[in-house]
Chains A and B, each alone.
Chain A
Amino acid sequence: MGMTITEKIFARASGHRKVTPGQLVDANIDVVMCHDVTTPPAISMLVERGIDRVFDPEKIVVTPDHFQPPKDVKSAELHKRLDAWAKQHKIKYYYKLGRAGVCHALLPEQGHIRPGEVIVGGDSHTCTYGALAAFSTGIGSTDLAASIATGRLWFRVPASMKFVLNGSLRSGVYSKDVILTVIARIGTDGALYKAMEFVGPALAKMSMEARMTITNMAIEAGAKNGIIGFDDVTKAYLDGRLKGKQDYTAVASDDDADYAAVEEFDCSAIEPMVALPHLPSGGVAIGNCAGMAMDQAYIGSCTNGRIEDLRIAAGVLKGKEVKIRTLVVPATPVIWKQAADEGLFDVFYDAGCVISAPTCGACLGGFMGVLAAGEKCISTTNRNFVGRMGSPKSEVYLASPATVAASAVEGRLADPRKHL
């Protein structure tokens, strides 16, 4: 019996020739991602126990992003603790000031993710990096502290589920619509504890950025990680981008690897999707919900705040005006600069959008566009839980950048295909 990509990565990281699902392993960590909300408590835990150390200052990547720049005194204190620690331990890759960005867009962009490696981060959407054929998963502050101090962590090897994306996407349909379709079918715990491996002709044609939207939301199906095998798209994305170590292991699943389940999707039949409140599994085709009045549109986040997403949104908004409060939040400074250079900001400005600095901001109800009671927001983000973007009486609807932009123009949920 062969192994899946995820099993191969765990075998290598734990020094075994072969691992099987359910096996407990102690794995070496290649990269630890740290941000402003979950890292300060991890630091305090280490200090309290007299083990304030880092296993390797070149393998820990730090960026404040959730409340970046600080939104109030308390979040400024979190940043201050993170900053002092990063300097004390001479963290080599510390993205601060005007270089800080939304972690899951920033780390791949800056060349910190290598195929075949094990990456953990103090954030549930760390599963994004699986698009680059790496194992990556979100952890809490205690696991983060353990990873920072020792470079090792216990894992139970997950069983893998295979998601076969057949056909090809129609115009106006994007990878966000695909992952919302997947989660609508299997539910928010449909892949609980498992690895979600994505394959198929529709996936092969997707850009790396589009793939990251898919793996980003693996956690919304309860998965431990999302993963995509190495191919030419991966290689092209990595060429000239990697920081530090240049070599990596291109991993793919064996033909006879074992899967807990195989789910097939005809992507040619997928429509623009909207996940209705209050679960990411609430996806329905736009035809079933178009016309519902919205109060805010949000274009950004680790799910859909990359340059391709901003281009898609700008394509819809060009020459039009928005009817509702519309926020555009480029996920990293590089994306921000690129959007400015390409003239996308002119489009957003002319359309009447608010353009923000890179931040997680309102995606998690932090700041920069939180919702009042009774307000509805159409958003490119990944979660529509109760109270996610503000008041517990507000509502969040999830969709692609095209659908969000079209809805901003109409002031109500709208089919993007009318606006392309």
Chain B
Amino acid sequence: MSKAHVYKRDHINTDEIIPARYLNTDAEAELATHCLEDLDVNFVKKVRPGDVVVAGDDFGCGSSREHAVWAIRGAKVQTVIARSFARIFYRNAIDCGFYLIESAEAVNKITDGDEVEIDYDAGVIHDKTNGRKIKFQPLPDFALEIIAAGGLLNKIAAELKG
């Protein structure tokens, strides 16, 4: 069962997702214990594997630290659904093979605590709590290729080893 953790604020930035005071490590499991700490200090206690984070515009703005994606992935969050994403965060997520969903409708219709099920191929979020099926635009093909390869570096490693 995947639960939605909804933070409707815009501009949730990388300093809130993973504060710089924890950037003295790149260990994903350790970063995960501080995921979203400066936004919601209780997030890591509440989140369960497969849950989703829902946010407003410009999610992930600020630093280029991929640690922000790792902290979220390390906390076993399935995906982030936002009205829009900041550029470097969006790119880092794709490069890491981590799927992001851009959907204003989903952000409007999903309530904190709702149970959701996502069909990535069809581009449908099923909010089982309110019964709505919300369509979203799946990622473009080049991004799906990177994600299917398990991330940009796996794709490059395969090409280099030819």
**A interface residues (Cβ-Cβ under 8 A, vs B):** 24, 37-38, 40-41, 44-46, 49-51, 66-67, 71-72, 74-75, 78, 122-124, 126, 138-143, 145-146, 149-150, 154, 188-189, 192-193, 219, 222-224, 279, 364-366, 370, 383, 385-388, 390, 392
A74 touches B161 (CB 8 A): no
Beyond the given pairs A124-B63, A365-B21, A387-B15, 9 more chain A to chain B contacts, judged by CB atoms under 8 angstroms and listed by A's residue number, are A49-B157, A66-B23, A71-B24, A139-B88, A188-B58, A192-B84, A366-B23, A386-B13, A392-B38
Q: How far is the CB of B96 from chain A (nearest CB, A)?
A: 6
Residues from chain A with a CB closer than 8 A to the CB of B86 are 189, 192, 222
CA distance A223 to B82 in the complex (A): 19
Q: Is the interface of A mostly helix, strand, loop or mixed?
A: loop
Residue of B nearest to A189 (CB): B58
Q: How many residues of B are counted as interface, with CB atoms below 8 angstroms from the partner's CB atoms? A: 40
Residues from chain B with a CB closer than 8 A to the CB of A124 are 62-64, 88
Restricting to B30-52, which residues have a CB under 8 Å from any CB of A? 38-39
Contact of B160 among A51, A219, A224, A364 (CB under 8 A): A51
Q: Is B101 an interface residue (CB 8 A)?
A: no
Residue among A44, A149, A154 with the highest chain B CB neighbour number at 10 A: A154
A140 touches B65 (CB 8 A): yes
Residues from chain B with a CB closer than 8 A to the CB of A366 are 20-21, 23
A279 touches B95 (CB 8 A): no
Residues from chain B with a CB closer than 8 A to the CB of A75 are 24
Q: Can you list 19 A-B contacts with CB-CB less than 8 angstroms, sorted by A residue number?
A: A37-B23, A41-B26, A50-B161, A71-B24, A74-B24, A75-B24, A139-B92, A141-B92, A142-B152, A145-B153, A149-B156, A188-B11, A189-B84, A366-B21, A383-B15, A385-B62, A386-B15, A386-B38, A387-B38
Contact of A224 among B15, B16, B87, B153 (CB under 8 A): B87
A365 touches B69 (CB 8 A): no
B66 touches A41 (CB 8 A): yes
CA distance A139 to B67 in the complex (A): 12
B88 touches A387 (CB 8 A): no
**B interface residues (Cβ-Cβ under 8 A, vs A):** 11, 13, 15-16, 19-21, 23-26, 38-39, 57-58, 61-67, 69, 84, 86-88, 91-92, 95-96, 142, 151-154, 156-157, 160-161
Residues from chain B with a CB closer than 8 A to the CB of A388 are 15, 20
Residues from chain A with a CB closer than 8 A to the CB of B13 are 385-386
Residues from chain B with a CB closer than 8 A to the CB of A49 are 153-154, 157
Residues from chain B with a CB closer than 8 A to the CB of A193 are 87
A140 touches B64 (CB 8 A): yes
A72 touches B88 (CB 8 A): no
Residues from chain B with a CB closer than 8 A to the CB of A78 are 24, 26
CA distance A385 to B63 in the complex (A): 11
Residues from chain A with a CB closer than 8 A to the CB of B151 are 142
Contact of B66 among A38, A188, A192, A222 (CB under 8 A): A38
B38 touches A142 (CB 8 A): no
Residue among B151, B156, B160 with the highest chain A CB neighbour number at 10 A: B156
Q: How far is the CB of A42 from chain B (nearest CB, A)?
A: 9
CA distance A143 to B24 in the complex (A): 20
Residue of B nearest to A122 (CB): B64
